[in-house]
Structure 1
Amino acid sequence: METSKKQFISDLGAGAKADSIFMVAKKQVRKKKNGDDYCAVTLQDKEGSIEGV
């Protein structure tokens, strides 16, 4: 069984991929210019928050 170190938001940089659990602090369904929907989220943990789509 493989164990992995918990990732915190403060460890992530732009374009980073994460395999961890974060709290969704805020979510919004928005529209692209072409009319398609997308979801904008703010993820949070004990060390900070980050925005993503």
Structure 2
Amino acid sequence: MEGQRQESHATLTLAQAHFNNGEYAEAEALYSAYIRRCACAASSDESPGRIF
């Protein structure tokens, strides 16, 4: 699960970099993919950002 957290963090970091550069479509695609992954993981009770 640690790899999923690192991948999630990398995805969010990249999305923020695109946003900061004014590349909004790219940022939106990455944020949307992250949200979909979280929603799917939550429905299977395996959230990638789960703390406990």
Q: TM-score, normalised by structure 2?
A: 0.19
Higher strand proportion: 1
* The structure with more radius of gyration: 1
| Structure with higher RCO (Cα < 8 A, 6+ apart) | 2
Q: TM-score, normalised by structure 1?
A: 0.19
Instruction: Looking at secondary structure, tell me which structure has more helix per residue.
Output: 2
